[in-house]
Structure 1
Amino acid sequence: MQTQTLAPTQQNSSTAPSDTPVAPDLGGIKAKQKATWESGDFGEIARSIENFAEQFMKRQPLRPGARVLDVACGTGNLAVIAAKKGCLVQGIDIASNLIMQARHRAAAEGLSILFEEGDAEALPYRDASFDLVVSMFGVMFTPQPAKIAAELRRVTRPGGQIALANWTPEGFIGKMFGVFKAHLPPPPAGVPSPMEWGMEPVVQTRLRQGFTNVRFTREVACMRYPFPPAETVEYFRKYYGPTLKAFESLPATRQEALRKDLVELQTRYNIAVDPGTTEVAAEYLEVTATRV
């Protein structure tokens, strides 16, 4: 039987080189992120971190009349604090149910805050619209770091400031991500780890264009829960979208293995004196920068 040899150009047209970068399916990734954050009830989780939202915002320039944007705002922890200081505040998040909760929360407290559903990587605001742009454990989860950095720069006025709070790889949340990584399939190719936003050299590079006076401070957030470690894991499994979805993606036997490792982690880092409670010290990187 005679065989046919394809010309190099024909071979290349049918098979891509193995080292060619694979473009991530951004539409699919963002749809999955939206479904993840809309699952569970992040509002319950948000109430447990209000204490260090207050600490974070105390360090920001919240003068009356300042225009403030809370990116990936969730149920509005940062936005509410800024509005109570007399700022003119807007918030945006990908999850429609969290935006609804944020609106109800603002209305209940008599605050005028404009919350809207939207993509942090395509902010629906004009250039130089805000004096201060903040995000707490929010923009770190966007899939395109260069894009979100450009958007933060675009909507901040010259001389204005951005302030971000990002979990660090070395901290408790970084270790928890490590547990998930050991049990779950790898993330889509081309999407960097959210934990890179907690690495100073990486963030310095991402903010090198359009920002000056980039500063880093490592802070510790004390996360307290009125139940023991095993119940703390179940609390996150019920209310925290990423944890809920992680368990749902696994068969029953592997769910139990994941649960066991998470309980062990919570137990190992629990600093609470009362055996019926859980308290862990979670490190985050506070990033501030001034728009050129």
Structure 2
Amino acid sequence: MTAPSDADRALKSKHRAMWALGDYPAVAAEVIPELGTVLAQACGAGPGVRVLDVGAGSGNAAIPAALAGADVVASDLTPELFDAGRQVAEQRGAKLTWEQADAEALPYADGEFDVVMSSVGVMFAPHHQEAADELVRVCRPGGTIALANWTPQGFIGQMFAVMKPYAAPPPPGAQPPPLWGSEEHVAALFGDRVTEVVAERRTVRVDRFASAEEFRDFFKACYGPTIAVYRNIADQPDKVAALDEELAELGRRNDLGWGAMDWEYLLYTARRAG
């Protein structure tokens, strides 16, 4: 691994600050609580299995893996999220380790983990190839890589497309997070370093919001990327009003008719070759 440049350190500092905005633990706990459990089960977490959760946030997947008996390290660039995770872990009787770590430069040895997983976490690292390389590196040969990532076509992919015209330009080399939900993109990132690949599009039922406007206002208050976009246009009330309406319309388009939505994600599992 090469030493990070000043520009890279500044970018990571910005990312950490963005995810510390609002209340991401509320998003994980109230909107997509079962997503982490699905991933923990898919990766085979259990007694005797050493697991690294990359981009763990407040432990949406790490805590279920620990409750299954695995030896879990929950890592994230934004340690501000850990306090909420520790509280949940204590309430549920889960024992795990929390460590700050950059997904693109993980501070772990080659092949240190039996399972390397990420629930809508690693997808937000700006440089996809570097992050994929690290997932492979710290997984032992024959070990499991397991990911749950929002798809470009699904609700969150659509939301990022809606927000893009209002957001600050991405830094050079940064790639859109929902690409991690494309089977072809992930296949290109890992290449022949993985085998026994299973990639399945699934949906998670979201019934937290009684209306499209409630969804929009919750994300404006709690979800770091949405908060950052609104801050970028805070001095342009016409753009704020336009984004307000576009996000509400997105919610309306995806409403199943009774205050629920299905958000698509890619569930990906593979074994490290070698």
**Partner of residue 74, structure 1:** 57
**Partner of residue 225, structure 1:** 208
**Partner of residue 145, structure 1:** 128
The match for 2:241 among 256, 267, 283 is: 256
> How many Å separate the matches in 1 of 2:168 and 2:71?
42
Please show how residues 54-133 of structure 1 align to structure 2 within 5 Å. Answer: 54-133=37-116
**Partner of residue 46, structure 1:** 28
Cα pair 1:24 1:188 within 8 Å, conserved: no
SS at match of 1:120: coil
> How many Å separate the matches in 1 of 2:206 and 2:7?
34
Instruction: Say which is worse superposed, 27-36 or 262-271, in terms of deviation.
Output: 27-36
Q: TM-score, normalised by structure 1?
A: 0.86
Cα pair 1:92 1:99 within 8 Å, conserved: no
* 1:242-283 deviation digits (Å, cap 9, x = unpaired): 11111111022211110110001101111142xxxx321111
**Greater Rg, structure 1 or structure 2?**
1
Shift of 1:290: 0.6
Change (3 A) 1:141 1:226: closer
Shift of 1:78: 0.7
* 1:186-224 deviation digits (Å, cap 9, x = unpaired): 312221111221111221111014222222111111112
Task: Work out whether 1:290 is the aligned partner of 2:271.
Answer: yes
> Runs (4+) of structure 1 moved beyond 6 Å?
none
Cα pair 2:35 2:61 within 8 Å, conserved: no
Cα pair 1:24 1:189 within 8 Å, conserved: no
> How many Å separate the matches in 2 of 1:62 and 1:45?
24
Shift of 1:288: 1.1
> How many Å separate the matches in 2 of 1:25 and 1:124?
20
* 1:85-131 deviation digits (Å, cap 9, x = unpaired): 11111110111210222223223333220001121111111121111
> How many Å separate the matches in 1 of 2:111 and 2:239?
48
The match for 1:192 among 175, 178, 198 is: 175
Q: TM-score, normalised by structure 2?
A: 0.92
Measured on the aligned residues, the alpha-carbon RMSD in Å equals 1.7
Please show how residues 173-184 of structure 1 align to structure 2 within 5 Å. Answer: 173-184=156-167
* 1:212-239 deviation digits (Å, cap 9, x = unpaired): 2222111111112242111210011111
Aligned residues with identical type, % of pairs: 38
Please show how residues 3-22 of structure 1 align to structure 2 within 5 Å. Answer: none
Task: Work out whether 1:29 is the aligned partner of 2:11.
Answer: yes
SS at match of 1:122: coil
> How many Å separate the matches in 1 of 2:139 and 2:6?
28
**Partner of residue 163, structure 1:** 146
| Structure 1: stretches of 5+ with no match in the other structure | 1-22
| Structure 2: stretches of 5+ with no match in the other structure | none
Aligned length: 266
Task: Work out whether 1:266 is the aligned partner of 2:251.
Answer: yes
Instruction: Say which is worse superposed, 218-227 or 253-262, in terms of deviation.
Output: 218-227
Cα pair 1:24 1:191 within 8 Å, conserved: no
- Give the residue type in structure 2 aligned to 1:192: Q
Instruction: Say which is worse superposed, 159-168 or 248-257, in terms of deviation.
Output: 248-257
Cα pair 1:217 1:287 within 8 Å, conserved: yes
Task: Work out whether 1:206 is the aligned partner of 2:210.
Answer: no
> How many Å separate the matches in 2 of 1:282 and 1:252?
30
Shift of 1:24: 10
